[in-house]
Amino acid sequence: MKEQSDEPLSLVLLGGSSGSFTIFEEILKMLKNPVSCALVFIIHRRKDSTAVLPEIFRNKTNIAMKEPIHLEPVLPNHIYFGYPDYHLLIGPDGRFYYDDSEKDFFSRPSIDATFVSAALSGIPVKAAMLFSGSSADGAFGLKLIAQKGFPTYVQDPAYADSPRMPAEAVRQYDKHHVLLEKGFYKMIREVLY
């Protein structure tokens, strides 16, 4: 199973819920050139959501997008989306693991499940970001990533469509970088490239 490339793996993790969809779209649009990291997007979805995110977002980016299968290796220069009704975990062996244990904050996939697993995986996190959403999911995982010494970013709650998610992240840990409204996408771009 030699699917790994020579490039060392690093992760960029992006979590969001209501109000984050257009942000994700904008971020994908700026991803025209190859990136050195693997990008993992976790957005809350209903379990019966049949929408296939890589399909919806097709033509937005040149980078390969997929909903990974269980045990698939995490590869640089790929964009991954969580699949509805399962948590998406990242293992210390650099593979994706699906998990159907209880929901966190009424959500599966939950952002915390992915963030916590990434923080504990030993794989370097280049950046983790949390955007608009109406639950407290993601705050704990983001804090853990920050405490592991990796850079973390939170959308300015004052400008988020649903401020609860980023506000909770800041409440639990006040040293996240706050992505201000002004220069929002420019800042994200600089983090990614």
Partner 1 sequence: MVIIEYSELEMLIVRIREISGFDFSGYAKPSLLRSTSRYLTKNAMNLKELFLYIEQGGRAVYDLIQELTVNYSEMFRDPDYFKKVRTEVFTYLDSYPALRFWVAGCASGEEAFSMAILLKEAGLQGKSLIYATDLSNKVLTAAREGVFTLGNIRTFSENYLQAAGTGSLSDYYYVAYNRAVIAPELRKNIIFSLHDLTGDGVFNEFQFISCRNVMIYFSLELRQKVFRLLYDSLSMLGFLCLGKRETLRYSGIEQHFKIIDSELNIYQKIK
Is 137 in the active site? yes
Q: Annotated catalytic residue: which of 17, 20, 107, 135? A: 17
Residue 23: which region, alpha, beta or left (left: phi > 0; alpha: psi -120 to 50)?
A: alpha
Residue 164 tokens read as 């609860």
By CB under 8 A, tell whether 121 contacts partner 1: yes
Residue (118 or 188) nearer to partner 1, CB? 118
How many chain residues interact with partner 1 (CB under 8 A)?
28
Burial grade of 43 (CB within 10 A; 0-12, 13-18, 19 or more): buried
161 assigned to active site: no
| Strand ranges in 17-124 using DSSP code E only, listed in sequence order | 38-43, 64-66, 78-81, 87-90, 96-99
Among residues 135, 137, 162, 176, which one is catalytic? 137
**Count of CA atoms in the C-beta half-sphere (13 A) of 138:** 32
Residues 14-33 that bind partner 1 (CB under 8 A): none
The secondary structure of 93-112 as a DSSP string is TSBEEEE----BTTBSS-HH
- List the structure tokens of 14: 């992006």
Query: In this chain, which stretch among 73-81, 84-92, 162-170, 176-184 interacts with partner 1, using CB under 8 A?
Result: 84-92
Contact 153, 13 (CB under 8 A): no
d(CA 93, CA 174): 31
71 scored as a contact of partner 1 (CB under 8 A): yes
| Catalytic residue of the set 20, 44, 117, 135 | 44
Is 104 noted as a catalytic residue in this protein? no
Residue choice 8, 101, 183, 189 for contact with partner 1 (CB under 8 A): 101
Query: 6, 55, 100, 174: which one contacts partner 1 (CB under 8 A)?
Result: 100
Minimum distance from residue 34 beta carbon to partner 1 (Å): 26
Which residues make up the interface to partner 1 (CB under 8 A)? 1, 48, 69-71, 83, 85-87, 89-92, 97-102, 112-113, 116-117, 120-122, 140, 144
The catalytic site residues sit at 17, 44, 137
